[in-house]
Amino acid sequence: ASLLWWQCFVKGLFFSFFNPQVVNGIEIYSMKIDSKVTSRFARNVITSRAVNRGNVHKEVFFDVELPKTAFITNFSMTIDGVTYPGYIKEKEAAKQEYEKAVSKGQTAGLVKASGRKTEKFTVSVNIAAASKVTFELTYEELLKRQFGKYEMFIKVKPKQLVKDFEIDISIFEPQGITELEAEGTFITNDLQNVIKKTFSDKKGHISFKPTLDQQRTCANCSQSLLDGDFTVKYDVKRTTPDNLQIVNGYFVHFFAPTNLPQLPKNIIFVIDISGSMSGREIEQTREALLKILDDIRDDDFFNFILFGSDVHTWKEKLIKATPENLDEARKFVRGIDTEGMTNLYGGMMKGIEILNAAHEEKFVPKRSASIIIMLTDGQPNVGISNTEDIRTHVKKAIEGKYPLYNLGFGYGVDYGFLEKMALENKGLARRIYPDSDSALQLQGFYDEVSNPMLMDVELHYPENEISGLTKNSFKHFYDGSEIVVAGRFADINQNSLTVDVKGEGANDVLSFTTQQDAEQTAKAFQEQEYIFGDYIERLWAYLTIEQLLEKRTAATGEEKENLTAEVLDLSLKYKFVTPLTSMVVTKPEDYDNQAGIADKTTEGIDIFTTFAFLQTHCLVDGDPHFIISVPQKEDAICFNINEKPGDVLSLINDPVTGITVNGELIGDKRANSDANSQNTYFGKLGIANKYLNLKVTVTSEKITIQNGNEKTAFTWLDSVTLQQEGLTLIINKEKNLVLSMGDGASFVIVLHQVWKKHPLHQDFLGLYTLKSHKLSEQTHGLLGQFFHPIDFTILEIHPGSDPKKPDATMIIKNKELTVTRGWQKDYRKDPKHGIDIPCWFVHNNGAGLVDGVHTDYLVSSLF
């Protein structure tokens, strides 16, 4: 059975918020994405320049998405000519720095976001009026060859029109470029010829530089068209299967033979049919399997194993893909239905047994590539359900003979387990994202492994000459891919190398020998001006780190410690942000010494943390009292709403994003006979997004998330980070929770716990909004109406009835109101005592300030 969640894991105590400041008044006047690719190794620099056109200081956001396969290598901010560089630190050290910043009184924000192929990097900084800031981010990655092409993609989303916008990509491939494509998901017919593309021999160049007008969604519109993926694909000439390059004591070897006959395959599909697969998942699985059956070649062998509570096999043996058998298989696939629990162990063992028998009985060809593809959406719970035990048995049964590919469908899988099991068996794990294209994702994976050309590929380098060799043996080589091996010469002055490659082809054993020296490499590179000298060394470091991290996934004990030390050492030396390092940026002192931090976790999901000083926000807490901050006045307005326990108030209602927040009032334990002095608090909050069919109910006891028909509940004793398309939820045990919905509108709910035996009070909740600019201009509600800019003037401050609290006249919304200077409590930093926020108090339930009268905001129920 599966939960539909992206990921759910326990986190430490790290928490807090990010700055909600609206970016109005900030102009991003330049954004450049500059990429240089040399021999598949890409270095991308994103530079964004902004100026604060307002007359008060403002928060500027730098918000980009990078490919998951990339490592950040540098980040800096330049404010009014002063550069604040980022430093790569060991994660522990970075954490301490973070905590130091927090202890100095700054609150911290945790932004975790991840798409299918990207992860997000967010930093913000406060700059003074008329000041300029430049952000510069560098990341590097090795472009992988798939389906015969290297692909690079750049996420483009400037969010506003940018005067000087440019993507500039230069590619240098010493083997020669044979094709070059560039396309963008946002490119309209008009923009098509703004992409300039040229290539000749070894050099390729792409430039995309739309003018302000070309960026507009329509004439005179201020919205930007630029929102999507910009993809570049290319391939290189292959006169020989090998290409060797040697520079400064390092070498890289690319191996991709073409025009070899394909090996026949023996494929076992091990498919989860447990109850949680029912509905769309099983339909998409059937659809994908039917398409795959169309692509199976007639000399292939195959079989299906289905596992629910029991294990069902289509045939007792591997079956040849004759037209009749394929027809029968199609009937079988159409009839696949769900049942019961998840006997993953039984399914795996049956599949391996059938494959082993086929080899032992020799009824599959000797030269054929055997593959196991397992698909599951849940966690094993029948047969052997301990994942360590399953791994042990599977590894023993496969004995390295076939690669195992594990596909994890949806968010309910134990992806760590699938990944470990696949890596231990020379395969890999992949996520299948539940979406309308899930069937295509499944098919796409099959396509990657459907054309084996070589088996047991071994790349031999003279042992005594080389150190730090990356992986050099591969179970299969698939058409359209490429094998990359890099290493270091033991003697840095060595400048030539001979390589032997052996592999089993469809007809016989193939071997290739290549020789290369540094001079030949230098000659091949001579015409290019944009080589970064150490690119082979960095490519080697990138590949080494990537492979060590992979190995570390399944390692334990001392081996894991050793691998960790090795990765850390290399990450620090080459300044890569990996799962073991963080990048720390300390922001200028005058705005509270803010710091930003960039992190990466093992699954390729990034955690990016920005420390942002809490500034402007709207909140409701306590009695319930509302505080509306007015940034341009550096001041706040507050009011109370007095209603009865059981009443539900509309706090936020945005018809455009579909987000609503309602709060239900509770009173003290003992009802007060005088209704007017009855204290009320929020005991229950309901946050919903009707377009995403999501409902989150928060009480002082538990947090319930309803996603369609799927329900998940947590208590305040959990520490949870949970991410799903359209929803991020972080529960900081017994303190608060941070919730982001849809495009990023975020809320913080603070839990107020009172002493259990308190005679009067009970636990209650406070609501704080962050990123309210993500909501539309039509947002309304007791809090929502104040997300639009609001201004006021204070006149005639004079003594009031309380000598410590002067009265004044406030001009707001063309009305004159009598207001009183007071304080209200903000409980985010100090949930026990709160921090006093000075504000102008509007009497009588906010009369004159809130639109209409306060009773207009009563609604019938939480949702």
- Tell me which of 258, 562, 715, 778 binds ligand NAG, using CB under 6 A: 562
Tell which residue, 435, 441, 429, has the closest CA to residue 403: 429
Nearer to ligand NAG by C-beta: 559 or 796? 559
Q: Which stretch binds ligand NAG (CB under 6 A): 271-279, 291-299, 555-563, 752-760?
A: 555-563
For the bound state, the minimum distance from the C-beta of residue 558 to ligand NAG, rounded and expressed in Å, comes to 4
Min dist CB 188 to ligand NAG, Å, is: 16
Stretch that binds ligand NAG, among 557-565, 629-637, 845-853, 855-863 (CB under 6 A): 557-565
Q: Are 270 and 352 in contact (CB under 8 A)?
A: no
Nearer to ligand NAG, 205 or 551 (CB): 551
Shortest CB 272 distance to ligand NAG, Å: 35
The 293-332 contact track toward ligand NAG, x by CB under 6 A, reads ----------------------------------------
Token digits for 582? 């963080």
- We find the least distance from the C-beta atom of residue 76 to ligand NAG, in angstroms, to be 4
Least separation in angstroms between CB 835 and ligand NAG: 37
CB of 77 to ligand NAG, least distance (A): 9
Cβ closer to ligand NAG: 213 or 830?
213
Residue 248's contacts (CB-CB under 8 Å, 6 or more residues apart) are 492, 533, 534, 536, 537
Site for ligand NAG in 759-798 (CB under 6 A): none
Number of other residues whose CB lies within 10 A of the CB of residue 79: 21
* 3-state SS string for 273-288: CCHHHCCHHHHHHHHH
**In the block, which residue shows the tokens 């509309």?**
650
- CB within 8 Å of 130: residues ≥ 6 apart: 51, 52, 53
According to the binding rule CB under 6 A, does residue 76 interact with ligand NAG? yes
| Token representation of residue 267 | 């494929």
Of residues 9 and 532, the one with the C-beta less far from ligand NAG: 532
The radius of gyration of the chain's CA atoms, rounded to the nearest angstrom, is: 30
Q: How far is the CB of 136 from ligand NAG (least distance, A)?
A: 5
Q: Interface with ligand NAG by CB under 6 A: which range of 115-123, 437-445, 558-566, 633-641? A: 558-566
CB 41, CB 7: distance < 8 Å: no
CB of 206 to ligand NAG, least distance (A): 23
Q: Are 439 and 30 in contact (CB under 8 A)?
A: no
Site pattern 504..543 for ligand NAG (x: CB under 6 A): ----------------------------------------
Q: Residue 558, interface with ligand NAG (CB under 6 A)?
A: yes
x/- letters, 568..587, toward ligand NAG (CB under 6 A): -------x------------
Residue nearer to ligand NAG on the CB measure, 22 or 93: 93
What is the rounded distance in angstroms from the CA atom of residue 464 to the CA atom of residue 467?
8
Cβ of residue 389: shortest distance to ligand NAG, in angstroms?
A: 22
Considering beta carbons, is residue 85 or 838 the nearer one to ligand NAG?
85
Q: Give, as ranges, the residues between 78 and 107 that touch ligand NAG (CB under 6 A).
A: 83, 85
Which among 32-40, 402-410, 556-564, 727-735 is the span making contact with ligand NAG, rule CB under 6 A?
A: 556-564
Cβ of residue 532: shortest distance to ligand NAG, in angstroms? 10
* Distance in Å, CB of 535 to ligand NAG, minimum: 14
Q: Which is nearer to ligand NAG, 76 or 131 (CB)?
A: 76
C-alpha dihedral, 407 to 413 to 415 to 420, nearest 10°: -80
Question: From the CB of 840, what's the least distance to ligand NAG, in Å?
Answer: 39
- CB-count burial class (<10 Å; 0-12, 13-18, 19+) for 104: exposed
Q: How far is the CB of 133 from ligand NAG (least distance, A)?
A: 13
* Dihedral sign of CA atoms 352, 358, 359, 360 in order: positive
**Residue type at position 332:** F
The CA distance from 737 to 731, in Å, is 4
CB of 18 vs ligand NAG, minimal distance in Å: 24
Q: Which of residues 663-702 bind ligand NAG (CB under 6 A)?
A: none
Cα-based angle 554, 345, 724 (whole degrees, multiple of 5) = 65
Contact present, 294 and 329 (Cβ < 8 Å): no
CA angle, 197 then 201 then 202, to 5°: 85
* Site for ligand NAG, residues 213 to 232, rule: CB under 6 A: 219-220
Distance of CA 629 to the CA centre of its chain: 32
DSSP state of 143: P
Tokens found for residue 664: 């239900």
Q: Is 475 in the site for ligand NAG (CB under 6 A)?
A: no
For residues 464 and 556, which CB has a smaller minimum distance to ligand NAG in the complex? 556
Binding residues for ligand NAG, total number by CB under 6 A: 11
Please tell me whether residue 851 binds ligand NAG under the rule CB under 6 A.
no
Nearer to ligand NAG, 72 or 739 (CB): 72
* Nearest approach, Cβ of residue 332 and ligand NAG (Å): 46
Total Cβ atoms within 10 A of residue 335: 8
CB of 219 to ligand NAG, least distance (A): 4
How many beta carbons lie within 10 A of that of residue 363, not counting itself?
13
How many Å apart are CA 488 and CA 496, to the nearest integer?
Answer: 12
Nearer to ligand NAG, 572 or 794 (CB): 572
Site residues for ligand NAG, 122-181, by CB under 6 A, read 136
Nearer CB in complex with ligand NAG: 221/858? 221
DSSP 542-611: HHHHHHHHHHHHH--HHHHHHHHHHHHHHHHHHT---TTEEEEEEPPGGGTT-EEEE---TTS--EEEE-
Both tokens assigned to 381: 């719970």
Sequence-ordered list of residues with C-beta below 8 angstroms from that of 747, at least 6 positions apart, any chain: 661, 687, 738, 739, 740, 741, 767, 768, 769, 770
Question: CB 557 → ligand NAG: shortest distance, Å?
Answer: 7
For CA atoms 733, 736, 741, 744, the dihedral sign is negative
Cβ closer to ligand NAG: 261 or 557? 557
Q: Of 508 and 558, which has the nearer Cβ to ligand NAG?
A: 558
Contact with ligand NAG (CB under 6 A) among 327, 519, 559, 701: 559
Please say which residue, 562 or 855, places its beta carbon nearer to ligand NAG.
562
Question: Which CB atom, from 192 or from 562, has the smaller least distance to ligand NAG?
Answer: 562
Q: How far apart are the first and last CA of the chain?
A: 28
Residue number, 76 or 248, with CB nearest to ligand NAG: 76
Closer to ligand NAG at the Cβ: 5 or 576?
A: 576
For position 74 contacting ligand NAG by CB under 6 A, the verdict is yes
Stretch binding ligand NAG (CB under 6 A), from 54-62, 117-125, 380-388, 554-562: 554-562
Min dist CB 386 to ligand NAG, Å, is 24
Distance (Å, rounded) from C-alpha 153 to C-alpha 142? 12
Please, which residue, 7 or 134, has the CB nearer to ligand NAG?
134
DSSP string spanning 218-248?
STT--SBS--EEEEEEEEE--SSSEEEEEET
E strand or H helix at 387:
helix 387-398
Which positions touch ligand NAG (CB under 6 A)? Answer: 74, 76, 83, 85, 136, 219-220, 558-559, 562, 575
